[in-house]
Structures are given as structure tokens and as C-alpha cells.
Structure 1
């Protein structure tokens, strides 16, 4: 029997007669390793000799067409399958690939896997091609074959539950329209329900019926019996339906924790109070001094104010210039090479949680799902939380209509105040099962290998690094002048400023997405502040204050740049309002902040946050300059005596030069030469930023926790098909 496979020069032959070379004679490691360990163990095959130019491959089932095809596709020479017993092949594989405890499939596990495969193929539910693809992924990851088939939508979760029910002789239970008895359902503590994906659905005086996603092992069974205090019987359930039921049963708990946890555990770190009492008192005192000074020495007071503002302006500009100069032409990110990514063993990869906050974004859900499925990470080790607000019925219904596989979890956040992205993320974090987690926005397009690069970075950086920040930029930078400016700014911020801050060990205000965390540390920190509308920047500072650090990686997530001015203003005013909140929160006790961050970190924090205050000053100086040009008003000239005038003049040139230079340098560093010329017009962009800054500052007093929605969903010609 001969089959031709790809490449066409490779031929697989099932041996019908004995050959001279024998498996028992020993296997050369170089020859045995022609096939990866996972494939050898999954298909029970091993190359062991070469006879007349033909590679002899020991196989437990030489007639299996999938085995023949897999071997032929991976050995670029003529091969011949030679029948051996399963034990003989396994012993030979163990000699070439010494087995590691916990990574080798047991006999019972193999038997169950083979039975499941035969059951699904014999009934016509899975094709040979689908089974081959799933078995190849199994060889790389070791994850359950049924879960792999479901994750790649070869079969539905209901089909798998039915097959497992027959395989393990367990009853099934449907939970789609089930109305839980909360007293019964909460008999199993929430943390166990989440970890085991199990929940009580009925109980008698001496027995509890437990819906579970998969059969529990003996250790898990003991944990459940101890928690319930009574015997129980397992019923297999659809994982998606079970997940929704657990959320329904414990939603009040999740909602409370996501809103008040940080506020109650670390009230001094929460922005739920905008101005602390000492800040109010200080503001009143300063206000009184300024008013009295203005009454008795009006011009001297104005000169003093101008001098102080000019000094702040100068310090902020020089600090940004220094950061950019340090980073320009260098590589300050944590180095993760393509070779390191390629060398990763998928069996070692942990579960990874992806949090995706969604609001009024039903139109881009399909593209979002397609993008996440395109990540280079086993789908069976993805825990994707699609975070929707309760009142966003359209997006919720869109997600339900897609019948997504169970690595996608619809999480509906109860409608309550504050209605912010950080509160939704806190809610989703309580359901997270990943050792690591990351935030992506709905329109984000991360590099396919970003998760692997972040994972590898965590393995190589210092032990106190708790966050890996990827770079952000825009996929529609060429749409108009505003999107080009936005891309200039992001290039400057993520290519130069943040890498330089990370290399200097300064507190890093995180970007809004593609920040990867160690989940346990994130929970320890209290996660995000639901009252801070720029929660990422605040979390970056809190992380630093607790002794943790952030590292940058050279991986870029593309976002959609706002192409309309009103939409851009809404987004930017929220960001700047959040910067004001962050500064106010962390400056409640300046001495404590300085001790925790060091003098350099303290100065870096204030100069970084100071950019928001600089944006408020711009219109004032522009107005004074314009008024003087047209009126030659004497009082304006008096406000700028010799030393102040020269300082302000220098600032005019230095500040504008630095701002233009930063944007040009960032685009050059990234290699975006096409939009570099737009950076020369960036002072106009600065005017928009000042407009947004004043709007954000006013909202800080009138509506501090209001989350202004940014519209997404640019039609860029890409299809919505999954």
C-alpha cells in the first residue's frame, strides 16, 4: 500500500514483510528526532533506521491513513511504516525522548482519546481532515482532543458533551433555560465553582446533583464533597451554559467586588473622592495668598504666576526631550527574538486570559473574534472574556447569535454606577482563569505572536516585573490629517518615551490596551480603579509604588485612530481628566509617594502628569501673545520683565521645537516616513489637545466619573466573516 503526500517526493509504505533493521537494535537520537516528540507519542511512531535510502518508521498502526499522511508530510524522504506493538514503540520513544512526569499521556487517557476519535469519525461528525488537524494540535499541546475540536468549531460543545456522556456513562443536563435555586447553587463556594466549572442544580436531604463541564478527578471530588458536606452525583453540562449559570448565581458578588474592592481596601488609592481634604485646604490657602497678593501687589503677583508657569512648562519640555534623546536610535525594549518564539513548547504554555471591554460595538464583534482566533496561542488555553454592559442589548445579542466556542465567554456586567471600562475589567478579572491576562479593545489588532512574546518576556525579566506593555499604533493613520497626528503622537510615546522611562526605572503610565499582567499580582494590587477614567495610567503608578516594575516589548497592537474631531475630543478629554485624577490621588501624600518611588521617580511622575497642566496653559499664553500683537497692551509687557521675557521667549521656541521634534523623532524611530511631514504641523494638534484638556478639567468638577464613549468600527474593507 503506497500513498503520495506533500511533499510529492515522500512516499509512505506500510511494511508487509520483515525488514533487516530492527527497532530493538537501538535508535540513533538524530534519526529518532526526525519527528517531534508530540507527534511520536500521539501517533505512536518513531523513525529508527534507514535501509536502501528508505527511512523506516516504527508504527503501532501501519494501516491508519492519518498516521501515514502525518509521517509523510514531515519527513522529506521516502519512508516505510513498520508494524510494532504499542509497547515497543513507546519504549523506543522513551529512549529518544526521556519522559517528563505529568506530560505523558496515561494508558486510560489514551484509550479515552482513541475511543472519542472513533466515535466521532464513525458517526460522520468529524472528517479525517478535521481529526488530523486536531490530533496534530494535540501532539503540540496535550490538551483534550474533544476540547480542541470544539475550539476549532469542528464540532459543537453539545456534540462533545453527548459523546463524553456516552463515553463515561454519565447523564447530561441542559442549563440554557434553567432557573437556579440560589440557596442550592451557592452551596458550592464561588471560588470552587469557578475553578472546577461546576455548580449544584438540585438537592435532596442526602444527595446533591452537580452540573459539571467535565468529569471531576478524585482530588476534585474530595474538595466538592468537603464543601457540600454531602454526597453528590455529577451531570455533564455544556460549558458555555454552565459559565452563564455561574455568572448569574454570583453576579451580585462580582458587581460589589468590582466596584468597592479598591475603595474599601485602599481608600487612599481610589479616585472615588476627587479632592482629599488636605488638598482642598491647601487649595484654599494658596487661593487666599494669591488673592491677597493680587490686591496689594497686582503686577508682581502676575509676574510671579507667569514665571512659575513658564518654569513648569520648561521642565516638562526638557524632561520629554531628555527621554526621547535617550531612546532615539536605541533598543530599550526587552528583547524577544523570533527564534525564541519558534522554540517555545506549546505544552508549557499556561492559560491566558484576554479581557475585551465592549460597549455599543456589535458591528465589530465578528472581526474581533476573527482576530483573537488568529493569535498564535492554543485556543484551548485561551480564556477570552467579552465584557458587555447589561444595557447594551445589541452587542450581547450579537455575541449570543454567533454561538462561539467555549474559550469565548460572554460576561454581562450589571448596570450600575460608575459605568466605566475599569469596572467592567474588574468584573471580568474575577472570572479569569489565566495565569496571565491582557486587555484588548474591540478594534485592536495585535501581532499574532504578541502573547508568546509577552510570556517569554516574563520568563526573562527581573522577578519584580509584573506588567509587560506592548506598543500601540494605528492602522488608519493615512485616513486624514488628524489620524496622522494621532499616529505621530503614539509613535513618539510608545517608541521613545515609554521605553526610556522603563529603562530608567521610572513609573510608567500604562497604555490603554496590550498591557499584560501576572494575574495574581494584578489581583493583589486591587486591579483597576473603577472611578478613574484613565485607569491604565493610575494602575501603572500604583504598580510601581508597590515595588513592581513594567517592561516594554517590541510588539505592536494596531488600533483605530479617531478620524473625526468631536470623537477625538471626547476620547482625549477623558484621558486628560484621568491624568488629573491620577495626579490628585497619588499626590495626597507627597512624602509617602517620594519614599515609595524615590526622588527620581517622584520627579518623573510629576513631570509626566505635568503635561496635562501644560496643555491648560497653552491657550492662556497664546491669548496673551495674540492680544499684545494686536493691541500692544502695556500691562502685558509689564507682565514679562527682562528675565521673564527672555525665559518665556526661549520657552516659546524650545517648547514648540521639542513638541515637533518628538513627533518627528517618534515616526522616524518607527520607520513611518510617510507621515513624518505631518509632524511639522503638530502645533495645530497641540491646540486640539488644549481644547480637550480644558474640557477634561471642567468635567473634573462637574462630572468626574463620566466615561465619554469613543465610537469605533471603521469600515476598512476587511470582511466580517469569521
Structure 2
């Protein structure tokens, strides 16, 4: 219960000037104390006395009562007395304490909106509480939670700052004028010229520029300018239209032109072609001269590859099993995060023909435990996907969601779309989420904390992936087993040993500036995530794992699954070809351990290609007892191949079981016993991807999502 004490009664109680009770000092967080001008200072007969500048304010009374589990009495004190007491308990830092001018502007905004009936007391209270945690502008908080529209906020700001407004929804810019402000400044300040005379430039801005920004803009324009307030979403769309050609060029050609040796735009280099031709000639000559011996040698070589890859994965699994190799972040650490210090976080969401999933996507992103005013969400759509574009526009999303339309050009791939979006990113960190992803709500905060804890050469934090529909059928259970093995065991072990990590396709968090330095993603590589993981390792950077999971939708239909997996295998081979163009340079950059780890990881794609050949030989021999097959496996080769037939399958089954056990998904372990059948599907997809590498190397196989709930899309 909260009441306001009368003057006569107040005199009988202690005053704030008598000092603050040590046991009550931290009863209310600093942000709330400063925002609502309150301070608990004494307890009398079980009632907590709280100094309040406005003891009659219902919102203040409600906020205080929610945070103190005892009877509360608001006692009126002067602002100076309360601020002095707060400063004594929470020593102020100049950059974190609201200035008198900022406070007046905030209170003016709140009064304008409440008196006009545009927001309710409950909406204002929630916004004020978020302000107390983040210090972000009250108007932006209200817009991000859709309490008011962006147009309403612009109108309020226009009245407060006595600035004219400009509508940009149907504005056709004069490109020469619009491009007078360089693109980096246009993006950084969210500003763009909309008209110009000989003496003056009219500049549309999302928010009034400060003196330093204004001076920089005037120098870049070479002329005086006048600011016009604009809707942030409309302004963002205009900047994109003006600079679309530049963004498209960079997203496609940056890596290819700055680091051509690391780009997959050439499938097989000239040196690799020469080596392949030479090897083929040698093999053919040997087959002519020593046919049986040559085939035996090839069989022995393939068996050795099988053995080494299997042992490598088995060793990684043993290292990770029953341990915790990820960078751990506790619930207590997350609860202790000071949201005033949280950076802006860019979320890149590639979309293609996924209009039905967009409402669920927006819901899940808004459910993240991260201030919406610190989110920069880029919804990346292809120009020819009008249905998804129209769906996003029809939802009239708040400005932390940005529709980004990627021009229709080749290659039409997810990494090209991500490169396009990265140029518009404003966050210190960025992450990729797919449309159907359901990340842990605290994943962004965990990543921020982890980045502050790991070694400075860690530029990527990889979260774990798994599936929310793992029980749908046998295929989804196998898929979940594989993901558990990969993300619970293999990748944490690789990260702990500082080996090159092939990143997952989603939930990889980057330091934005470092990602740009690396040239971002290769638009020609259809498994761009794995490739980027190797490239950042070659540059001396590292990837760490965190114990946070993003749930995806496992493909539940075989044809759909084959399309996805064939693309992955094609990309793995692309990645191997790119980085093995100059193997000695790779060895020098990664060291022997990294070099071997890379080849053995990528070697899985080649093992999958060999599976059908060995299975066919084994089946043929069992049913026909063909003598020529027996000749191919003499002595030691026969015993090694026979051991691999059993040991290799045992290891594959064991890894599947171990991954599920490590994750605690005990209901899936029984399906792991049938995983050799899943290996057969993987080999089918591998051959499809291998053939497509030479027939259509940059084609992005689309996979359908939303099959579990009836909302289907592709990515």
C-alpha cells in the first residue's frame, strides 16, 4: 500500500536530510530513482519512507510500490534533496545522468502525448520504466512498442523544436541533389538532401542534428542547410533508393575485387585445373599399365580418408562429451546487465517467398530480451518477391524494423542479400537469423557479455542450433540428432582447440566492423557461413561458442531436405576448392593443426561421395561373390575396409547418440540406431550437390519452411 503523508504527519517522521538507511540504499534501481525522482531513506514501524518530488503522482506511486514488498509511504521532498541523496548512493557519471534540458524535453513529450489522449497512463508508465533502464528517448520507446506511430512522434518533435516536417512516402528525389551528402554520412546521421537552391540545401532528417553533426554535414554539402523532420521509415527507404546501385555493386563485387583468391566466383582455378588434369593422366596411365594395383591403391587411399575423418570426429566428440567447452553466461550476469551500456544490435533476416512467416518472425524478434530502441532489424527481401515485400509494408512496422529490397541480379543468394543489408547496418554487433528461427530470448545479451569476456581476437560468437519440430517424423529426429552432435560436441571442441570453425547458417554474432574488414560473405559461395568461418581464422581471428540455442524448423520432407543438404555439400566443396588454391599459404596462415582440421572437416563431403561406391561393391560381393571385388581388397586393405564398414558406422551411430545425450534429448537416442539410413540420404544429396557444382555452381537451392504450422516459405 502506498500513501502520501500530510505536512503535520511528515514532521513526526525522519527526513531525507537525516540520512539514508544503509539497508534501504539499493532498494530501488538507480535508473528508476533518477527518472521518477524517488529515494527510499527510512523505515518506521514496518513502513518504508520514500522521498518523492511528486508524492501525488499515481504513476510514481505505482512504480515504487511494485519494487518494494513492504508498505510504502511517499514523503514529499525537494528535487535538490532527492538528487543529492541519489548522487550519494549512486555516484553520478557525467555521460549517464540526464541533463536538465533532456529532462525538460522528456517531460514535455510525456505531457503533450498524455494531454492529447494519444497514450494511456499504463503506456506511459511502461515507457518511463524502460527509459529508466536504457536512457533512450521516450518518444522512440513509445514508437518501438507501437503505443504511438512514427508520424505522431514526428509531429510532436516538430512542435517541440519548431521545425517543419516533410513527407517522403511518394517523394521522387533528384538524384544529383540527393547524393550531395556522401552515403556514409547519410546512413550515419539518417539524413538526405531533398531540394537545393544556390544558397541553401533542404535536408530531411530523422532527428534534429546536434552542433557537431551539423558542422560535418555543412562541410560535406559545401553550403548552408535547413533541417526538415521526416518519418524514419520513409527516410530509410529513400536513402536505400538513392544509393541502391552502390549497395548492389559492393554486395556482389567487394570480395571478388579486393580478395579474388578468396572468392568462389571461379569454381576451379587454373592451377587446380592443371593439377586435376595431371592427376587424371597419371591415374589413367597407371590403370593401363597396372590396372589391378592402381585400383587397389585408390581403394586403400579412400579407406584411409574414411578412417582419418572418422577418428577425427570421434576424437572431437570424446573431448567434448560430459564437459562444458562453451563460453558460459549465467542468469545472474544477464540480470545484472546495465541496459544503458548495451550497444545497438543489427539483426539480418534474409527472406525469400516467406510472406506467411513474417508475422511470426516479428513476434519472435520483439520477444527478445533486448531494448527495441537498440535493435536494428533488416528484413532482406529480393526485388522479385513482391508478396513478401507487400506483406511487410502492410504491417506498418515500427522503425526498428527496416525493409531492405535487394535488386534482382545474379548471383541471387543469401550471402549477397546479407552483404547488401550489412552496408545499412548501424549496430556495433550483428547477427543472422533465418525467418523461421526461434532464438533464446536472452541470446543477444549473452553474446554481448561473451564478447566482453573472450580474448580480443574473437570476432564471432556462434550460438547452438537445433529444431523445434524434432518429433514430427523420423527425418526430423535424424536431423535433430545430427545438429545435437554438431553443435553440442564437435563445434565446441573445435572452438576450444582454436581450430577453424565452419559456422552455422544462422545465429552467428559478429563484431560489425571486423566483419566488414573481412569482406563479409562470399556471394558466390552457397555455404557462405562455413567459408566465412575459415576466412576469419586465416586472418588470425577466432570463433567462440555460447550456451544459447536457436530453434529452427527441420525439413520434414525428403525432397525438401535433399535440396537443402545438396546445397550445403556443394558449398563445402566450393569452400575446400577456394582455400586449397594455395595450400602452402593456407598452411602458413592456420598452422599444421588448423590445416589438418580444415581438410578433415571439409573431407566429410568427399566421404559422403564415396559411400555409395563402397556400399555398391559390398552389396555386389555379398550377392555374387565376384572375384574381381575380392582382388581389390587384398590383405591389409581388406581388413582395414572391413573394420571401417563396422567401425565407421559404429562411430556415426555413437556420435548421433552422444549428441542427443549431451543435449538431454533422451527420446531421440533410439532413432540414432537407424542413422546409417540417414547417411544414405546424405550421400544422395552429396552427389546431387557435386554434380550441380559443375552444371550450376551458384544456384541457390530453395527449401520450404513453415510446413509444421501451415505457413510456408523458402530460403
Candidates 384, 396, 399, aligned match of 1:403: 396
Structure 2 residue 622 is matched with structure 1 residue 613 = no
Structure 2 residue 435 is matched with structure 1 residue 423 = no
Distance in 1, Cα, partners of 2:472 & 2:283 = 47
Candidates 674, 679, 700, aligned match of 1:681: 674
Query: 3-state SS of the aligned residue for 1:531?
Result: coil
Distance in 2, Cα, partners of 1:689 & 1:336 = 35
Q: What's 2:81 paired with?
A: 88
Candidates 558, 567, 587, aligned match of 2:560: 567
Residues 227-306 of structure 1: matches in 2 within 5 Å? 227-306=220-299
Number of positions where the alignment pairs a residue of Structure 1 with one of Structure 2: 711
Q: What's 1:451 paired with?
A: 444
1:716 Cα shift? 3.5
Structure 2 residue 212 is matched with structure 1 residue 219 = yes
Q: What's 2:149 paired with?
A: 156
Query: 3-state SS of the aligned residue for 2:257?
Result: helix
User: Contact conserved, 2:24 with 2:40, CA < 8 A, in 1?
Assistant: yes
Deviations 1:587-637 (A, max 9, x none): 011111011111011000000000000000000001111111222211111
Residues 77-476 of structure 1: matches in 2 within 5 Å? 77-476=70-469
User: Contact conserved, 2:183 with 2:243, CA < 8 A, in 1?
Assistant: yes
579 and 199 in structure 1: CA distance in 2 versus 1, 3 angstrom threshold: same
List gaps (5 residues or longer) in structure 1: 1-9
Distance in 2, Cα, partners of 1:129 & 1:267 = 57
User: Contact conserved, 1:29 with 1:96, CA < 8 A, in 2?
Assistant: no
Distance in 1, Cα, partners of 2:285 & 2:663 = 52
Distance in 2, Cα, partners of 1:579 & 1:618 = 17
1:82 Cα shift? 1.6
User: Contact conserved, 1:13 with 1:79, CA < 8 A, in 2?
Assistant: no
After the TM superposition, list the runs of 4 or more consecutive aligned residues in structure 1 that deviate by more than 6 angstroms: 717-720
1:50 Cα shift? 2.2
Structure 2 residue 12 is matched with structure 1 residue 12 = no
User: Contact conserved, 1:12 with 1:71, CA < 8 A, in 2?
Assistant: no
1:27 Cα shift? 1.8
Query: 3-state SS of the aligned residue for 1:102?
Result: helix
Structure 2 residue 591 is matched with structure 1 residue 598 = yes
Structure 2 residue 639 is matched with structure 1 residue 646 = yes
Query: 3-state SS of the aligned residue for 2:704?
Result: coil
Distance in 2, Cα, partners of 1:331 & 1:150 = 41
* Cα-Cα RMSD: 1.2
1:81 Cα shift? 1.4
**What TM-score does the superposition give when structure 2 sets the normalisation length?**
0.98
Distance in 2, Cα, partners of 1:299 & 1:618 = 21
Distance in 1, Cα, partners of 2:153 & 2:206 = 11
Distance in 1, Cα, partners of 2:109 & 2:495 = 50
Distance in 2, Cα, partners of 1:655 & 1:154 = 59
Distance in 2, Cα, partners of 1:372 & 1:285 = 53
Which stretch shows the higher mean deviation, 88-97 or 491-500? 88-97
Deviations 1:137-156 (A, max 9, x none): 00000000000000000000
Distance in 1, Cα, partners of 2:185 & 2:258 = 24
Structure 2 residue 15 is matched with structure 1 residue 22 = yes
Structure 2 residue 690 is matched with structure 1 residue 690 = no
Q: What's 1:557 paired with?
A: 550
1:715 Cα shift? 3.8
Q: What's 1:3 paired with?
A: none
User: Contact conserved, 2:20 with 2:42, CA < 8 A, in 1?
Assistant: yes
Q: What's 1:6 paired with?
A: none
Candidates 646, 664, 676, aligned match of 1:671: 664
Residues 470-619 of structure 1: matches in 2 within 5 Å? 470-619=463-612
Which stretch shows the higher mean deviation, 680-689 or 46-55? 46-55
Deviations 1:368-419 (A, max 9, x none): 0000000000000000000000000000000000000000000000000000
Query: 3-state SS of the aligned residue for 1:411?
Result: strand
Query: 3-state SS of the aligned residue for 2:436?
Result: coil
Distance in 2, Cα, partners of 1:648 & 1:152 = 62
1:717 Cα shift? 8.5
Deviations 1:521-558 (A, max 9, x none): 00000000000000000000001000000000111100
Distance in 2, Cα, partners of 1:717 & 1:264 = 43
Distance in 2, Cα, partners of 1:325 & 1:74 = 48
1:73 Cα shift? 1.2
Query: 3-state SS of the aligned residue for 1:326?
Result: helix
**What TM-score does the superposition give when structure 1 sets the normalisation length?**
0.97
Which stretch shows the higher mean deviation, 98-107 or 85-94? 85-94
1:718 Cα shift? 10
Query: 3-state SS of the aligned residue for 2:682?
Result: helix
310 and 472 in structure 1: CA distance in 2 versus 1, 3 angstrom threshold: same
List gaps (5 residues or longer) in structure 2: none
Distance in 1, Cα, partners of 2:320 & 2:572 = 24
